[in-house]
Amino acid sequence: MALEKITQVTGRGVFIPGDDIDTDRIIPARFMKCVTFDGLGEFAFADARLHDKEAGRIHPLDDPRFAGATILLSGSNFGCGSSREHAPQSLYRFGHRAIIAESFAEIFFGNSTTLGVPCVKLSQQDIAGLAAIIESDPEAMITIDLTENKVTVADVDFSAEITIPGHAREALTTGRWDSIADLVDGLDEVKKRVTAIPYLAS
């Protein structure tokens, strides 16, 4: 069952600076006692946002200038720590449809890809450049093109090459990003394979 082919994501951006932003930061564990992922969006970065509010600052996710942004930018090793799917789920439900960072933690990357949320890498310098564009014009429309391997900004002279592992690019652009849908699709092959795996066959 092929899903939507994700070749391009276009939208406004929001920059959450910092390296090693872990999944506890993205969605604190106490919000995980849910039966479904519905409603997780409002708790994305809950503690960081509250902390900023108490300190008289505005967290980027609460900054009205960036309301409705669909592309999240951050630093290196984004999504490290606990493997909770709740982290990409909360960002997805907050409205993010793609993430740009210097690098991603493995499991977060996999969980995001299987939600159809491309995680693409840019150099620190290009992220800083993109963040500066967003800061001066929050309405700037960013486009991530997975076919052209590029990030561009409408009406701005900005173009940078993205990095995304081949398997993820292929999965997203061919609409095969949901591994479970893939397995269901190939149920006959799965059944055949099971007979060849000793501990499943017996």
Partner 1 sequence: MAIGKPKVRRINVDGKLAPGVYAKDVILHIIRHLGVNGGIGYAYEYGGSTFDNFTQEERMTVCNMAIEGGARVGYVNPDETTFEYLRGRPYAPKGADWDAAVARWKATASDADAVYDDIVNFKAEEILPTVTWGITPAQAVFIDEAIPDPKNLPEKDRATAIEAIEHMKVTSGTPVDGLKIDVAFLGSCTNGRLSDLQEVAKHLKLQKGRKVAPHVKAIVVPGSQGVAAIAEKMGIAEIFREAGFEWRGAGCSMCLGMNPDKLVGDQLCASSSNRNFKGRQGSPTGRTMLMSPLMVAAAALTGTVTDARKVFGIQ
How many residues belong to the site for partner 1 (CB under 8 A)? Answer: 42
> Is residue 10 at the binding interface for partner 1, with CB under 8 A as the rule?
no
Alpha helix segments (H runs only) across the chain: 23-26, 46-54, 86-94, 106-113, 124-136, 166-173, 179-185, 187-194, 198-201
As beta bridge partners, residue 101 has: 121
Closest CB to partner 1 among residues 1, 154: 1
> Is residue 186 at the binding interface for partner 1, with CB under 8 A as the rule?
no
> Is residue 184 at the binding interface for partner 1, with CB under 8 A as the rule?
no
Closest CB to partner 1 among residues 101, 151: 101
Nearest in space to 97 (alpha carbons), one of 62, 68, 64, 74: 68
| Cα separation values, 171 from 1, 127, 149, 190, Å | 12, 25, 14, 19
Site for partner 1 in 118-157 (CB under 8 A): none
In the complex, the residues that contact partner 1 under the rule CB under 8 A are 18-20, 22, 24-25, 28-30, 32-33, 47-48, 50-51, 76-77, 80-83, 103-107, 110, 113-114, 165-168, 171, 176-179, 182, 198-199, 202
